[in-house]
Amino acid sequence: MHWRRISPDGTETFPLGRDAHGAILYTNDGYMSAMMTAAGRPEITGGDPLGGDLEARAAAYSTCLAYFGTWELEGNTVTHRVLEGLYPNWSGTVQPRSVEDRGGQLVLCTPAGPSGEVNEMAWARPAPH
């Protein structure tokens, strides 16, 4: 999987690195979940997922993006209605994405942002166990 940000001048960046990990799940009854993380994230000291050093938790937050909600497909656009997410500003929002099958990968692209940047997320089906 990758998350690639493309600026209007064509510059590409990878917010979670070129070796990011992630999964997206769509259910037949209209629910969805997505999660992306940077590779090699350091562990947080202690056994409490809500504990640990504030800086370590901030670093963990900034190397992960996750949300869940409902979805519907219309033409080449999938609409995610975000119920809740790690980034609280998305909770309760509608997030449209263009959809493309690119060589067996599911590629989702955001509409251009305020600065004209487009975010592209490419997801590959995992190998069966």
CATH number, domain of 105, equals 2.40.128
What 8-state DSSP symbol labels residue 127? P
Residue 23 lies in a domain: yes
Residue 46 lies in a domain: no
Residue 18 lies in a domain: yes
Predicted confidence at residue 129, as pLDDT, reads 77
Predicted confidence at residue 128, as pLDDT, reads 80
| pLDDT tens figures, 74-121 | 999 999 999 999 999 999 999 999 999 999 999 999 999 999 999 999
Q: Is the pLDDT of residue 20 over 90?
A: yes
Residue 76 lies in a domain: yes
Per the structure, the complete domain to which residue 36 belongs is given by: 2-41+53-124
Number of domains into which the chain is organized: 1
The pTM for the full model equals 0.90
Residue 47 lies in a domain: no
